[in-house]
Structure 1
Amino acid sequence: MNAISLEGFGELRAVFEALRRDRDVHAIILTGEGKAFCAGAALDSFVDKHGFKLTPGTLRKAFDEHLNPLMRTMMEIEKPIIIAINGPVAGGGIGLALAGDVVIASETARFHCGFVPMLAIVPDAGTSWLLPNLMGRNRALPMALLGDPLDAQEAMAEGLIYRVVGPDALMEEARGYAERLSRAPVDALRRARMLFTDAAATRFSDMLDKERDANCELVAGPEMKEGVSAFLEKRTPDFKISGSDGGSGS
């Protein structure tokens, strides 16, 4: 079920950091191996032959050094992330699943938020921010308190994912989005992702100013000039030759 040890979240963060630095990587696809996407934390790592070994101190250390840095990296990385949910997702796996930019799911996907009713803890990995911001408090909170699962179609109806596809088409669909995003204008893509991520904590009036500032910065770069020229010349823009140095992660 692709459950991850607490240290494993840090290992996954190291992978994302390596992809961030790799100039040949233009977009990132995250999916699960086998029939499940991710079951969250590996609960067997919480016990040993003496019983329950997890303490507040070790858990805080794991959050501060591994899990939360991973989630911050995923939300802040300059390159677009496509999430391909290939099956059941539970626990902290929900945070991983919903932290992408284009989130698609197989028809076999099911979302289980069992933190409260099953483990007597609160949702983590950003789940308590992502769910209410994506589906609203009065839809998200019962899901967390009761632990009732959502299937893929219900998750799409609630605004958690972008599209549902057949299991055999999932990775082809994900690669198609990755190809399209890899041809997108790097700086505009980066700024748009930042604006949408910050929107939940930004007043409308302040967002108008953020939009203004972003576009005033972008209009001075080569990508918008290429976009306007391509539109007027009735051709597809080629942002790869428009002069962007790729420094933002393309």
Structure 2
Amino acid sequence: MRRSRLLHVPFWFTYVFLYAPIIVLVVMSFNSGKSAYTYEGFSLKWYGVLAQDAKVMEGLVNTLIVAAGSTAIATVLGTLLAVGLARHTRSKTLDAIALMPAVLPDLVLAIGLLVFYGVVQFTLGLHSVTLSHAVFSMAFVAAVVRTRLSGADTSLEEASRDLGAGPVTTFMKVTLPQLMPGIIAGALLAFTLSLDEFVIAFFTIGNLDQTLPIVIYSMIRFGVTPEINALGAILLLVSFTAVIVGQRLTKIGESRAQD
């Protein structure tokens, strides 16, 4: 009994190690003082200061635009890529190539994309960041959907084709509903990755627009302030909300697929 309790020590230590900095950030975002390291009392004033910061609000809007656009592109292309790799081209080489953007260092991928845009004379801006994030996220979506696809019931697709349905109808009516939980999970992952991705955005955005991570980087060069803590707490809330919504949608998709 005593030995089993001792086994819980590393478990709880790991949780404390992971979440203690996040808890400190949230607590310090309600600090009434100007110091980001000394708690002087409860206050919501830094959230008001944050709401009035035009630069932060512009960066937030740009980030949401990029995240939504790249998620849509990555989800569609990643799903099609997963289906193609699993059902039409059984090649380990192609599997490795498809997943390469996910394992490449962000710096290498960012420099490669920047050079590519320069070669084809593609102007930089929010559109270039959206495409770059889609390239980066598509590999993750494909990996998640591919995992879901490996557990799908192929007999349903065979029955659909035997009954006269074409490939497109079979995919839309049979395959896609089975893959929906994986697609939702992949889209959620792509959105989260794009939301806080800094390196690729920094290299491919140009000089006119800035995403929120770049805005935060420019702010912390002069020191961390309670305003940045408030911004981090809001992003944390958005992330938790996205996870909860994603889990709910995944359960709905799984129940519909079983029906």
TM over 0.5: no
Relative contact order higher in (CA < 8 Å, ≥ 6 apart): 2
Select the structure that is richer in strand. Answer: 1
Select the structure that is richer in helix. Answer: 2
